[in-house]
Each structure stands twice: as structure tokens, then as C-alpha cells.
Amino acid sequence: MKGKYHIVVQNKRLRYELNIRRNITVIRGDSATGKTKLIDLLGQASALGEGSGVEVLCERPCRTLGGKDWDLVLPGIHEQIIFLDEENKFVKSQEFAAAVKASDNYFVIITREDLPNLPYSVDEIYGLHTSGKYHDLKRTYNELYHIYSAEAFSGKLKPETVVVEDSNSGYEFFYRVCAENGIACTSAGGKSRLKNVMSKSDKEQMLVIADGAAIGSEMNELYQLMCHRPTIKCYLPESFEWLVLKSGMINGKAVQDILDHPEDFIESQKYFSWERFFTALLLEYTQDSYLKYNKSRLNEAYLHDKMKQAIMNVMEGVNWYE
């Protein structure tokens, strides 16, 4: 399943509007923000149809999933948008993560907890915003808003230290750039270790570079740490491969068309996260060229001045030079 979908769930008093564009969307928030009611309305619509008084508008069927037999029901559902809430404890299990990976459905998960087994994007973590008040004949309008705004993670600084999430080609690239400009650069060794590395920061201007496409489960803790240490900034592109593609140096027009609306090209059952898609895309477009990409070891061609500068230019606001 791929594409972007606008969903409206409403009855005479309530209206929810959502735009879903990836296989995993997470809705967070405190109690009494309307999250559970959204699940209730969808359940009523599924059970009672028009008699429920609930209208569900979407190009794809929308339904809920829960109960002890979820693992028996899910394989029979195809190309639908499935809503789940935190009452279903299985959403944190490895079994559920494996089922999502194999599924051709989209999943909207309503939870206050982090889900470390699922690679969801920082861009697809939302809260519910409610405007208006409850009245007998009026609706409460609910819409999604981003919890983690782009401004909070902009890299508008001259870093003294750079921390890169992994130790693959992306790290090699930034290590070389930093070495040329007198900036310390280290690898965190994985997204789950970012917090520990960031916590060791004292007063230096630190830039953290991580794959935004799969870091959602870590963002709550990272965000809290950044709030207490304003000298730390995060730059969260989809992935290093996305940065390379975004630079325009590789088959510019065709690639840029995909980057403009990737949800129309990324088949969720094939690519568990968008990071995997962008890696496959970069491998495809460079396989027969001097820019042939290797995820585990950086091709030196990416450090040639023109290519290097094009990649760095994508990262607006970061001052790399002495």
C-alpha cells in the first residue's frame, strides 16, 4: 500500500480529520484529548454501519484492531488503514512489529508510550488538537498537529561537536567533513545510544545527525534532553541516503520528482521504513556509475569537492567552516 490519505471521522457532535502518508503513524497525548473517542467512533462505524450515526470518509477502508486474536485477524486484512490504541498491549511486542513489517496496511497507533520495536518517523508523531466546546448540536473539531516541530530540531549553529547516529557511510562522510574543519565527530553506535552520548555534552555546541525516518521511538527522551540543554541541536533528515539524493547530483529531475511526494512511490509492505527505500533508490541510480553507493563503506567520490558541497548545502543553517 502506498499514497497519502485524508480521513474524516464524524458524527453530529465530533469531527476528526487526519492525513496519513506512511505505514506507521503515532498519535500521542494526555487523557481527555479525544484519542479514545476516535477509536470508539471507528468501532461503532464498523459494527453498526450507517445505523451508528458515524460517517467515515476515506479512499481506503478504515477499521480498528484489537483483542487476543489480533494475530489471526490481521493476515486477512489488506490495503486498509488500521487504528489501534494503547489498551492493546501487543502493540509493543516484537510479534506485532513483525506483523506490521509483513503487512500491506497502514497503521495508526494511539499511545502515550514509546514503541521501540517499530521504525516510525519523527514526522509522523502527532497530538490531537481540539477547538471549540461541546454543545448539544455542535461538533468538537479535532485535527492532528506535530508534537516535534521542525524549528526544534534545526541545526542553526556552528557545531563544536557532531554526533552521528550510526557508523556507516554517513558517519564516514561527516567525520571527514568535520576533520577538515576542526570539529570533533563521533558515532553514537545506534539510535538507542544517542541519549547517553548527548547527556555527556557540557557547554559545547553539539549537532546530532540521525535518520528521522526511523527515530520516532527515541524522540520523547531526546526532546526532553534538548529542552534542558539548548546547546544541543538535532538534524533529522530521512537518512544520509536522502541527503545525497536531495543534493541534486544524481539524476536530478527523476529523483526530485520522487522526493517531492515519496508516499506515492514507497510500497509499505516492501519498505518497513522510508530510510530503506531511499537506500534502495540511491543504490539503483548509482550502480553503474563512479558514484556507486555502498552503505557500509563510503565511496571516496562522495568526498570530491563538488559532491561534498552539494550534500552539505542541503543542511541549511549549519556553519561547517572555521
- Tell me the pLDDT tens digit for each residue of 102-153: 999 999 999 888 899 999 999 899 888 776 533 233 445 667 777 776 555 5
3 state SS of 140: strand
Give the rounded percent of residues in the chain with a pLDDT score beyond 90. Answer: 55
- Which pLDDT score, from 0 to 100, does residue 145 have? 72
- Which pLDDT score, from 0 to 100, does residue 132 have? 53
- Which pLDDT score, from 0 to 100, does residue 136 have? 31
Phi and psi, residue 245, nearest 5°: -65, -40
Unique residue bearing C-alpha cell 536522502: 242
- Which pLDDT score, from 0 to 100, does residue 228 have? 85
Residues 6 or more apart whose Cβ sits within 8 Å of residue 126: 25, 26, 27, 28, 144, 145, 146, 147
- Which pLDDT score, from 0 to 100, does residue 175 have? 95
- Which pLDDT score, from 0 to 100, does residue 184 have? 92
pLDDT at 92 over 80: yes
Domain parsing of the chain, residue ranges? 5-147, 151-314
Q: How confident is the model at residue 231 (pLDDT cuts 50, 70, 90)?
A: confident
Could you tell me where the beta strands, DSSP code E, fall in 46-91? 55-57, 62-64, 81-85
Mean pLDDT of the chain: 87
- Which pLDDT score, from 0 to 100, does residue 133 have? 37
Q: Could you tell me if 77 and 63 are in contact, meaning their C-beta atoms sit under 8 angstroms apart?
A: yes
CA distance 114 to 223: 13
- Tell me the pLDDT tens digit for each residue of 32-83: 567 788 899 999 998 888 888 899 999 999 999 998 899 999 999 999 999 9
Q: Could you tell me if 71 and 95 are in contact, meaning their C-beta atoms sit under 8 angstroms apart?
A: yes
Residues 6 or more apart whose Cβ sits within 8 Å of residue 193: none
Q: 48-52 — which CB contacts under 8 Å span 24+ positions?
A: 52/11
- Tell me the pLDDT tens digit for each residue of 157-204: 788 999 999 889 999 999 999 999 999 999 998 988 888 888 887 767
* Mean pLDDT of the 9-16 span: 88
Length of the chain: 322
- Which pLDDT score, from 0 to 100, does residue 137 have? 32
